[in-house]
Amino acid sequence: MFPQIRSWRISHYSEIMDVAKKIRVRKDDIEWAKKVKERDHFTCQRCGSRPLNGRGLHAAHIMSRRYKNTRHELGNGCTLDFGCHSFLHANPHDAIEFFTRFLGGADKYEALRLRAQEVKK
Ligand SMILES: [Zn+2]
């Protein structure tokens, strides 16, 4: 192999790995969103709307997707339409109340929150 290519690859190794990781996470995001919507029968879990072809439906994260532990956990997803998703982002108290009911109780909500925020060693 040309030594300059080899040294380029070595010096850019972490960047290459970062890109590869981003692509993998993105693929998992898409797969996760698909599974959440399928489980919820392509229906907004807040208002019951069922748009044609699932248009405008989002797979919303109950605990923010910035928490890696639960980012791709099916139980951390909830199908919402654009309107309901926007409303819950603008009204965090309503969001907690809604998701607590969605998950089936405060204990379930708390367990998910702890799982999301758990620091893995
Ligand atoms: Zn809705």
Report the separation in Å between the CA atom of 56 and the middle of ligand 1, taken as the mean of its atom positions: 10
Residue 1 confidence (pLDDT) above 70: no
Tell me how far apart the alpha carbons of residues 41 and 69 are, in angstroms, rounded to a whole number.
25
Residue 74's nearest CA partner among 25, 119, 28, 106 is: 28
Decide which of 121 and 36 is more confident.
Answer: 36
Q: Rounded to 10 degrees, what is the CA torsion of 18, 23, 25, 31?
A: -170
Residue 61 confidence (pLDDT) above 90: yes
Report the separation in Å between the CA atom of 57 and the middle of ligand 1, taken as the mean of its atom positions: 9
**Average pLDDT value for residue range 28-47:** 97
Q: Is the CB of residue 68 less than 8 Å from the CB of residue 116?
A: no
> Sign of torsion, CA 50 39 22 24?
negative
Report the separation in Å between the CA atom of 59 and the middle of ligand 1, taken as the mean of its atom positions: 12
Residue 109 confidence (pLDDT) above 90: yes
Report the separation in Å between the CA atom of 1 and the middle of ligand 1, taken as the mean of its atom positions: 57
Mapped onto helix, strand or coil, the DSSP state of residue 23 is helix
Report the separation in Å between the CA atom of 11 and the middle of ligand 1, taken as the mean of its atom positions: 49
